[in-house]
Amino acid sequence: MWRVVLAVGLGAALEALLGWLLRRRAAAPSEVIFFPSTVTCTEELLAGAPCACPLPHGESALARLLAHVLAARRSLDLCLFAFSSPQLGRAVALLHRRGVRVRLVVDADYMALRGSQIGPLRRAGIQVRHDQDSGYMHHKFAIVDKKVLITGSLNWTTQAIQANRENVLVLEDQALVNIFLAEFEKIWENYNPANYTFFCKHEKTGIENG
Amino acid sequence: MWRVVLAVGLGAALEALLGWLLRRRAAAPSEVIFFPSTVTCTEELLAGAPCACPLPHGESALARLLAHVLAARRSLDLCLFAFSSPQLGRAVALLHRRGVRVRLVVDADYMALRGSQIGPLRRAGIQVRHDQDSGYMHHKFAIVDKKVLITGSLNWTTQAIQANRENVLVLEDQALVNIFLAEFEKIWENYNPANYTFFCKHEKTGIENG
């Protein structure tokens, strides 16, 4: 008798575990978004109200990317080579106003170009850090609520969104997210303004000595 | 009695299925490679023999990327914005000589720049196709044996490898691989030289009419 109970119990336990594992796989969807995006109106996503402008109002690659970014409730960690898309800029500013903690790492050479969103976002109160290296800070990833990784070839520019062939992966694999989070934290600390050097070593020594 | 047999059998079957599922997860590893890469000698990977040059001979981000590319046995589908790294160029030429079917899609504006690997690889007999659009073919992905996806922010250039902050994801998720394969096939067909237009419409009409 105890054998029957044991075997049935074991079977049920294994079945439950198996179901959980399968659900866990199903709960970690991956999405790939290819660009260029068709031009659609994204006002409803950004302003929260229907819009009657003459642009098409359907789905688009940009609308899907915006929806993933706007899903942030607690934190948004951005590591972007170039950021000039007005729609994505509005989305990030909106999240900041909603109380989402936004941190933004960018490349120093690109952040001051015409049309860059970095100035306006800084003025809105968002923390921005940048490199001081000769190499580029060439990442293009975002981490939403420390749970979703958005990464790929796409710079957050209108040229890239509307004209280039690009890919964006949206991944909810926590192990992958953690690897990118660790890289983000490393860069964030590395680019801490306390570490910026605005003078060469010789000049600094001069000031300290003088 | 039959209940015991059924329950034990069910338990064993579930256990086997569970083990297979767990092994399947374990057999689909993801790897993230961050750049810049330390400069190491990659001769052993590319020439297959130990090297005594003065460079360090340890692991590096470039060596790991090379190892993933060199793992190709049947096919290598490349979709690259810029390709000038001599080591990656040698790896691709080596695979072609080994009989791996290499297909290479690149951006037209970057393929003829100084140091580009496209010319040498074409002369080696590798099929190359490129865009004719005003936008960039900005993807940076490779598909190894239609099973492994290598994608990220990294252009295949020495600047990117040695100086930039970059990421490369190595993913063995077949669903993701299939999505990128479909995109590759679409672009490959789209960039078929039979579709190239070397004259504007008006001129072509003139020729056809004349």
Q: If pLDDT is split at 50, 70 and 90, which confidence band does B120 have?
A: very high
Please report the pLDDT score of residue A210 as a whole number: 41
- Mean pLDDT over residues B4-13, rounded? 74
| pLDDT one-digit tens code per residue, A100-134 | 999 999 999 888 888 999 999 999 999 999 998 88
Q: Are A132 and A149 in contact (CB under 8 A)?
A: no
Average per-residue pLDDT for chain B: 88
Please report the pLDDT score of residue A192 as a whole number: 93
pTM greater than the 0.95 cutoff: no
| pLDDT one-digit tens code per residue, B125-174 | 999 999 988 899 999 999 999 999 999 999 999 999 999 999 999 999 99
The alpha-carbon gap from B176 to the nearest alpha carbon of chain A, in Å, equals 8
Please report the pLDDT score of residue A133 as a whole number: 83
| pLDDT one-digit tens code per residue, B171-205 | 999 999 999 999 999 999 999 988 877 655 554 44
The alpha-carbon gap from B210 to the nearest alpha carbon of chain A, in Å, equals 35
Please report the pLDDT score of residue A205 as a whole number: 46
Q: Which of B154, B145, B204, B132 is nearest to B172 (CA)?
A: B145
CA distance B126 to B112: 16
Q: Which of residues A146 and B58 earns the better pLDDT score? A: A146
Task: Say if the Cβ atoms of A32 and B134 lie within 8 Å.
Answer: no
CA distance B108 to B185: 18
The alpha-carbon gap from A185 to the nearest alpha carbon of chain B, in Å, equals 14
Task: Say if the Cβ atoms of A138 and B154 lie within 8 Å.
Answer: yes
Q: What percent of chain B has pLDDT over 70?
A: 87
- Mean pLDDT over residues B79-101, rounded? 98
Handedness of CA B176, B179, B182, B187 (dihedral sign): negative
Q: Mean pLDDT for each consecutive 10-residue tract of chain A (210 residues)?
A: 72 69 54 96 93 93 97 98 97 98 94 90 97 92 98 97 97 95 97 77 45
Chain B residues touching A170 at Cβ < 8 A: none
Chain A residues touching B136 at Cβ < 8 A: 160, 163-165
Q: In what order do the strands lie in the sheet with A101-106?
A: A30-35, A166-171, A148-152, A140-144, A75-80, A101-106, A127-130
CA distance B26 to B17: 14
DSSP-assigned letter for residue B157: S
Task: Say if the Cβ atoms of B154 and A164 lie within 8 Å.
Answer: no
Chain A residues touching B141 at Cβ < 8 A: 153, 167
Using DSSP, state whether A52 is helix, strand or coil. coil
CA distance A198 to B124: 49
Q: What percent of chain B has pLDDT over 90?
A: 71
The pairing of beta strand B166-171 with beta strand B30-35: antiparallel
